[in-house]
């Protein structure tokens, strides 16, 4: 662990907050009382980045005690608008009013003085500080000689935590807390500064369903206490579930205000400007030969503890096969070995056991060799592992192949060939950017994901490994990504989808494997009831992982069933329960080395998710 910086002395008390003429000064005491709600109004807010208009004369009003949903696809301008409201970006035109009075917000400090708080999508916390130390940064309570009053800071956190049911230990280190609890710390930071308007930027993007429900409970508590909340999201069902009113932004403009009772189809069409296919349509899989064969794969935990009886492995003895022309969906609560499994399959993490691609042992192959053997990889964290943010769109599209023809001539890169390749893929994959020379880090999350998808499947591949492929994406981007994944399957590519979104697993998978504590607890067809899948996710395995479950054929020449018509399942941006045709038709697969293509083997195998603009201004591509 990194050494913790000292917070022992501030050299004086925190600078007194400037007064806003319609509100009292900010205080640092969590229990300080003043007027609860404020009315917030944005008038004609306009922001340009070069020739691109991120916000185009936006009007928005938020009443006291209201949860206002701000809905829009990736790159619509939502985050840019909220960064303007919080003083991180300055508007070119327009004004902000608080309680009817115009205010100038040139920095976050001005926003705080206007009683506006913001919880960013990527949390602004110091990992090696405690909860209390993070919360008091910038408004440190002091006692004699300018020493920090840590006891007061802890009591403030406890008081706010108890008042809103946040359940946070003020002495816990941030790096030891799960993501959902870290988000609560950000909320307490804003409340401590007496925020009456709270901006939540994509707050559920990294939360589990349970953590999302906890967040909604906290939001309702805040609303009942008079706080106003601007809830930025692209997940229709979540906005419909929590918002009092919904404002939809598309391409930088407000295109409609709707009640939460508006239909999914209406909201989705407003978001993307066209009718959206809210369900994935795909024909039953026709599995071919085995492409990926994983046998007894074990991956050691990164930070193994050596207590007696403790599991030292992130992945424990996993075996499965994936065939050409099928999608294996790996379901499970985040943190049960899915990330480590993907990284081990890509050679990014050491492991024991055997990994074979088209019968060739690649267990000891490097990541580069695995890519060149025909594996395409969409990583879980696109910003950290999928792109080089400062590189151009064109350069990111050849990260796998820049040193090979036709993109290289001997020791030099062929720039004209790379540019032509980039233009072709940008058009094919609908990558919305003003130029292929634009730094990819300035694109929206959806467009960054399209860059990764285009790079990985824009070449001939045998296996597509996609981890959380639509995390943080809007309905339009999800529709596109899902369609391309299904197209790859239909072209004979073996596909593995790892997702914490059950809707996505149901939407895409031809066969479902469930992981719990590093092991596969069962294999199921996509017709499995949600309740049964949930039991497997909780560790209630029943032996089907060994090919003996009721939904797995277990011998050569046995028959597997598949729906007789197009399978339709839910879009994870909606949170809908999947719908699937159930009339079965028998599909017989020939025996292959003692296994049925549609059945299970001894190892259970067989057939069967950022920013609209930069946080600090500057040139950006908000598309």
Whether residue 372 lies inside any domain: the answer is no
Quick one: 224 and 104 in the same domain? yes
Higher pLDDT, 279 or 50: 50
Quick one: 90 and 65 in the same domain? yes
Q: How far apart are CA 464 and CA 544, in angstroms?
A: 25
Confidence of residue 1 (pLDDT cuts 50, 70, 90): very low
Quick one: 601 and 474 in the same domain? yes
Q: Which of 5-19, 346-360, 489-503 has the lowest mean pLDDT?
A: 5-19
Q: How far apart are CA 519 and CA 432, in angstroms?
A: 40
Examine the pLDDT at 591 and tell me if it is beyond 90: no
Q: Which of 56-70, 291-305, 335-349, 587-601 has the lowest mean pLDDT?
A: 587-601
User: Is 131:185 a contact under the CB 8 Å cutoff?
Assistant: yes
Beta-carbon contacts of residue 522 (< 8 Å; ≥ 6 apart)? 513, 514, 536, 541, 542, 544, 545, 549, 604
41: closest CA among 12, 4, 16, 66? 66
CA-CA-CA-CA torsion for 458, 464, 470, 476, nearest 10 degrees? Answer: 40
Give residue 318's pLDDT. Answer: 95
Confidence of residue 563 (pLDDT cuts 50, 70, 90): very low
Token pair listed for 172: 């816990």
**Total H helices, total E strands in the chain:** 16, 28
483: closest CA among 502, 457, 501, 463? 457
Give residue 541's pLDDT. Answer: 61
Q: How far apart are CA 281 and CA 482, in angstroms?
A: 9
Quick one: 188 and 321 in the same domain? no
Q: How far apart are CA 232 and CA 79, in angstroms?
A: 8
Strand, helix or coil at 42?
strand
Examine the pLDDT at 29 and tell me if it is beyond 70: no
Quick one: 264 and 284 in the same domain? no
Beta-carbon contacts of residue 451 (< 8 Å; ≥ 6 apart)? 387, 393, 396, 397, 429, 431, 440, 443
Examine the pLDDT at 43 and tell me if it is beyond 70: yes
One-character DSSP codes across 332-362: --TTSSHHHHHHHHTTSS--EEEEEETTEE-
Give residue 206's pLDDT. Answer: 65
Q: How far apart are CA 345 and CA 341, in angstroms?
A: 6
Stretch 293-311: mean pLDDT? 73
CATH (domain of 201): 3.40.50.300
pTM for the full predicted model: 0.64
Give residue 243's pLDDT. Answer: 94
Q: How far apart are CA 619 and CA 520, in angstroms?
A: 46
Stretch 537-564: mean pLDDT? 42
Q: How far apart are CA 113 and CA 97, in angstroms?
A: 13
Whether residue 318 lies inside any domain: the answer is yes
**Residues of the domain holding 485:** 278-292+312-336+461-610
Stretch 156-176: mean pLDDT? 84
Quick one: 258 and 284 in the same domain? no
Token pair listed for 404: 């090979």
Confidence of residue 442 (pLDDT cuts 50, 70, 90): confident
Q: How far apart are CA 155 and CA 157, in angstroms?
A: 5
Higher pLDDT, 583 or 128: 128
Give residue 36's pLDDT. Answer: 57
Give residue 384's pLDDT. Answer: 84
Give residue 382's pLDDT. Answer: 86
Quick one: 261 and 320 in the same domain? no
Whether residue 206 lies inside any domain: the answer is yes
Give residue 179's pLDDT. Answer: 74
One-character DSSP codes across 94-147: EEEEETTEEE---SHHHHHHTTEEEE-SS----TTSBHHHHHHTTS--B-GGGB
Higher pLDDT, 378 or 168: 378
Beta-carbon contacts of residue 515 (< 8 Å; ≥ 6 apart)? 318, 330, 331, 332, 336, 337, 338, 341, 521
Stretch 513-524: mean pLDDT? 92
Q: How far apart are CA 126 and CA 203, in angstroms?
A: 19
Give residue 37's pLDDT. Answer: 67
Whether residue 591 lies inside any domain: the answer is yes
Percentages helix, strand, coil for the chain, rounded to the nearest 5? Answer: 30, 25, 45
Q: Which of 56-70, 168-182, 428-442 has the lowest mean pLDDT?
A: 168-182
Whether residue 511 lies inside any domain: the answer is yes
Examine the pLDDT at 598 and tell me if it is beyond 60: no
Domain count, the chain: 2
Give residue 161's pLDDT. Answer: 81
448-468: b (≥16 Cβ within 10 Å) or e = bbbbbbbbbbbeebbbbbbbb
pLDDT tens digits for 308-363? 445 688 999 999 999 999 999 999 877 789 989 999 999 999 999 999 999 999 99
* Averaged pLDDT of the chain: 78
Strand, helix or coil at 474?
coil
Whether residue 392 lies inside any domain: the answer is no
Quick one: 197 and 242 in the same domain? yes
User: Is 166:221 a contact under the CB 8 Å cutoff?
Assistant: no
Strands 67-71 and 93-98: unpaired
Examine the pLDDT at 595 and tell me if it is beyond 80: no
Stretch 220-225: mean pLDDT? 88
* Bridge partners, residue 524, by sequence: 512
Q: How far apart are CA 397 and CA 391, in angstroms?
A: 10
Confidence of residue 542 (pLDDT cuts 50, 70, 90): low
585: closest CA among 551, 562, 557, 552? 562
Q: How far apart are CA 30 and CA 412, in angstroms?
A: 61
Q: Look at the block and give the residue holding tokens 């060739």.
A: 360
Higher pLDDT, 142 or 114: 114
Quick one: 116 and 245 in the same domain? yes
User: Is 575:286 a contact under the CB 8 Å cutoff?
Assistant: no
Q: Which of 127-141, 247-261, 355-369 has the lowest mean pLDDT?
A: 127-141
Q: Which of 3-7, 37-41, 235-239, 297-301 has the lowest mean pLDDT?
A: 3-7
CATH (domain of 581): 3.40.50
* Bridge partners, residue 413, by sequence: 408
Examine the pLDDT at 519 and tell me if it is beyond 50: yes
Give residue 22's pLDDT. Answer: 37
Token pair listed for 120: 């960013």
- Phi, psi (degrees; rounded to nearest 5) at 184: -65, -35
Token pair listed for 203: 């707050």
Residues in the chain: 623
Quick one: 243 and 287 in the same domain? no
Confidence of residue 273 (pLDDT cuts 50, 70, 90): confident
355 burial level (CB within 10 Å; 0-12, 13-18, 19+): buried
Q: Which of 114-118, 270-274, 284-288, 603-607 has the lowest mean pLDDT?
A: 603-607
Quick one: 99 and 206 in the same domain? yes
Quick one: 173 and 103 in the same domain? yes
Stretch 297-317: mean pLDDT? 73
Strand, helix or coil at 603?
coil
Whether residue 127 lies inside any domain: the answer is yes
CA 384 vs CA 201, 411, 448: distances in Å: 20, 28, 12
Whether residue 452 lies inside any domain: the answer is no
Give residue 502's pLDDT. Answer: 83
């Amino acid at each position: 662990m990194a050494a913790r910086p000292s917070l022992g002395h501030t050299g004086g008390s925190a600078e007194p907050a400037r007064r806003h003429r319609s509100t009292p000064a900010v205080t640092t005491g969590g229990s300080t009382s003043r007027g609860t709600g404020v009315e917030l109004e944005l008038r004609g807010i306009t922001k340009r980045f070069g020739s691109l208009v991120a916000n185009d004369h936006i009007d928005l009003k938020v009443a006291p005690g209201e949860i206002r949903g701000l809905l829009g696809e990736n790159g619509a301008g939502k985050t840019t608008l909220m960064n303007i409201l919080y003083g991180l970006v300055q508007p070119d035109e327009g004004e902000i009013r608080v309680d009817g009075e115009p205010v100038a917000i040139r920095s976050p400090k001005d926003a705080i003085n206007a009683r506006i708080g913001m919880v960013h999508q990527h949390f602004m916390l110091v990992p090696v500080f405690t909860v209390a130390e993070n919360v008091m940064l910038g408004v440190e309570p002091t006692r004699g000689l300018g020493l920090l009053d840590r006891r007061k800071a802890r009591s403030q956190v406890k008081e706010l935590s108890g008042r809103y049911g946040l359940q946070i230990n003020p002495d816990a280190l941030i790096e030891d807390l799960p993501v959902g609890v870290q988000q609560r710390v950000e909320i307490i930071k804003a409340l401590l500064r007496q925020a009456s308007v709270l901006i939540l930027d994509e707050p559920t993007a990294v939360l589990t369903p349970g953590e999302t429900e906890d967040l909604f409970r906290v939001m309702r508590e805040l609303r009942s206490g008079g706080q106003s909340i601007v809830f930025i999201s692209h997940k229709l069902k979540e906005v419909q579930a929590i918002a009092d009113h919904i404002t939809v932004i598309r391409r930088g403009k407000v295109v409609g205000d709707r009640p939460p009772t508006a239909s999914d189809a209406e909201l989705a069409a407003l978001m993307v400007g066209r009718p959206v296919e809210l369900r994935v349509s795909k024909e039953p899989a026709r599995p071919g030969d085995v492409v990926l064969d994983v046998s007894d794969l074990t991956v050691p935990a990164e930070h193994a503890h050596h207590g007696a009886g403790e599991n030292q492995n992130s992945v424990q003895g996993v075996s499965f096969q994936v065939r050409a022309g099928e999608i294996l969906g790996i379901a499970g609560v985040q943190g049960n070995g899915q990330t480590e499994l993907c990284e081990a399959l890509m050679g990014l993490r050491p492991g024991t056991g055997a990994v074979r691609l088209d019968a060739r042992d690649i267990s000891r192959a490097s990541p580069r060799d695995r890519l060149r053997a025909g594996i395409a990889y969409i990583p879980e964290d696109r910003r950290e592992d999928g792109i080089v943010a400062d590189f151009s769109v064109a350069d990111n599209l050849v990260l796998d192949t820049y040193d090979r023809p036709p993109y290289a001539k001997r020791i030099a890169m062929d720039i004209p060939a790379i540019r032509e390749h980039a233009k072709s893929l940008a058009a094919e994959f609908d990558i919305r950017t003003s130029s292929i020379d634009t730094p990819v880090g300035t694109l929206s999350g959806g467009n960054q994901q399209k860059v990764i998808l285009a790079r990985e499947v824009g070449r001939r591949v045998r296996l597509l490994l996609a981890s959380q492929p639509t995390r943080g994406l809007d309905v339009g981007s999800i529709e596109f990504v899902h369609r391309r994944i299904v197209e790859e399957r239909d072209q004979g590519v073996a596909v593995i989808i790892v997702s914490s979104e059950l809707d996505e697993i149901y939407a895409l998978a031809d066969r479902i494997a469930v992981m719990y504590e590093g092991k596969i607890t069962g294999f199921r067809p996509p017709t499995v009831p949600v309740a049964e899948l949930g039991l497997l996710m909780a560790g209630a395995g029943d032996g089907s992982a060994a090919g003996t479950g009721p939904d797995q054929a277990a011998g050569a020449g046995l028959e597997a069933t598949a729906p007789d018509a197009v399978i339709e399942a839910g879009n994870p941006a909606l949170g809908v329960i999947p719908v699937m045709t159930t009339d079965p038709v028998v599909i017989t697969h020939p025996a292959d080395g003692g296994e049925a293509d549609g059945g299970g083997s001894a190892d259970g195998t067989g057939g069967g998710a950022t920013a609209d603009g930069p946080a600090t201004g500057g040139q950006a591509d908000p598309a």
